[in-house]
Amino acid sequence: MEDESLNVLLIEDNPGDALLIRKVLDEVDSASFRLETVDRLSTGLGELNGRKVDVILLDLSLPDSQGIDTFVRVYSEAPEVPIVVLTGLDDETLAVEAVRQGAQDYLVKGRADSNVLARSMRYAIERKRVEERLQELYEKERRLREEREAEINKRVEFTRALVHELKTPLTSVMASSELLMSELKAGPLLKLAENLYRGACNLNRRIDELLDLARGELGMIQLSCKPLDIVRLLHAVAEDMALAFASHGQSLRLDVPSRLPLVWADEERLEQVVVNLLNNACKFTPEGGTITLRALEDGARLIVEVEDTGSGIDENEQKRLFDPYNRLESDRERLSGLGLGLSLCKMLVSLHGGDIWIKSRKGSGSTFSFSIPLNRMPQGQENAETGDAYESADD
Ligand SMILES: Nc1ncnc2c1ncn2[C@@H]1O[C@H](COP(=O)(O)OP(=O)(O)OP(=O)(O)O)[C@@H](O)[C@H]1O
Ligand SMILES: [Mg+2]
Distance 336 CA to ligand 1 centre (A): 10
Going from the Cα of 339 to the center of ligand 1, the distance in angstroms, rounded, reads 6
Question: 6-112 and 226-391 share one CATH topology?
Answer: no
- pLDDT(322) > 90: yes
- Per the CB < 8 A criterion, the answer to whether 374 and 211 are in contact is no
CA of 163 to the centre of ligand 2 (A): 22
Q: Is 356 helix (H, G, I), strand (E, B) or coil?
A: strand
Mean pLDDT throughout 195-220? Answer: 89
pLDDT of residue 155: 84
The average confidence (pLDDT) of the chain is: 89
Give the model confidence (pLDDT) of 118-133 as tens digits.
889 889 999 999 999 9
Ligand nearest to the CA of 340: 1
The ligand placed nearest to the CA atom of residue 337 is 1
Is the per-residue pLDDT at 387 higher than 50? no
Which of 3.40.640.10, 3.40.50.2300, 2.40.180.10, 2.40.110.10 is the CATH number of 6-112?
3.40.50.2300
Model pLDDT, residue 1:
42
Which ligand is in closest contact with the Cα of 336?
1
Q: Which residue type, as a one-letter code, is found at position 352?
A: H
pLDDT reported for residue 227 = 93
CB 322 less than 6 A from any atom of ligand 1: no
CB neighbour list of residue 241: distance below 8 Å, 6 or more residues apart: 252, 275, 278, 282
Residue nearest to atom 17 of ligand 1 (CA): 341
What's the pLDDT at 296? 97
User: Phi and psi of 254, rounded to 5°?
Assistant: -105, 125
Would you tell me the crossing angle of helices 15-29 and 114-184 to the nearest 10 degrees? 90
pLDDT given for residue 332 in this prediction: 66
80-131: pLDDT as tens digits: 999 999 998 788 899 999 999 999 999 998 887 888 888 898 899 999 999 9
Ligand 1 atom with least separation from CA of 332: 29
* Architecture of the domain defined by 226-391: 2-Layer Sandwich (3.30)
Confidence band of 395 (pLDDT split at 50, 70, 90): very low
Q: How far apart are CA 217 and CA 221, in angstroms?
A: 9
| Residue boundaries of the structural domains of the chain | 6-112, 140-217, 226-391
CA distance 25 to 23: 5
**Residue 271: pLDDT band with limits 50, 70, 90:** very high
Q: How much is the pLDDT for 392?
A: 35
Question: Is the C-beta atom of 338 inside 6 A of ligand 1?
Answer: yes
pLDDT digits (tens, 9 = 90+) for 228-269: 999 999 999 999 999 999 999 999 999 999 999 999 999 999
Overall average pLDDT of the 343-367 stretch: 94
- What pLDDT score does 105 carry? 94
| Beta-ladder partners of 295 | 304
Mutate which of 202, 208, 284 for ligand 1 pocket (most atoms within 8 A of beta carbon): 284
Whose alpha carbon is nearest atom 7 of ligand 1? 280
pLDDT at 384 over 50: no
Q: Could you tell me if the CB of 339 is within 6 A of ligand 1?
A: yes
One-character DSSP codes across 95-151: HHHHHHTT--EEEETTT--HHHHHHHHHHHHHHHHHHHHHHHHHHHHHHHHHHHHHH
The strand pairing partners of 307, in sequence order, are 292, 367
Protein residue closest via CA to atom 1 of ligand 1:
281
Residue 349 CA, ligand 1 centroid: distance in Å: 17
Q: What number of other Cβ atoms are within 10 A of residue 182's Cβ? A: 9
What's the pLDDT at 247? 95
* CA pair distance 166, 170, nearest whole angstrom: 6
Between the CA of 113 and the centroid of ligand 1 the distance, in Å, is 77
Q: Which of 342, 346, 348 has most ligand 1 atoms within 8 Å of CB, for mutation?
A: 342
SS3 299: coil
Question: What is the end-to-end Cα distance of the chain in Å, rounded?
Answer: 93
Residue 388 pLDDT greater than 50, yes or no: no
For ligand 2, the distance from its centroid to the CA atom of residue 346, given in whole angstroms, is 12
pLDDT at residue number 234: 98
- Nearest protein Cα to ligand 1, atom 13: 327
Q: What pLDDT, on a 0 to 100 scale, did the predictor assign at position 381?
A: 61
Ligand in nearest proximity to the CA of 356:
1
User: Is the shortest distance between the CB of 261 and ligand 1 below 6 Å?
Assistant: no
pLDDT band, residue 3 (cuts 50/70/90)? low
- Find the mean pLDDT for residues 282-291: 95
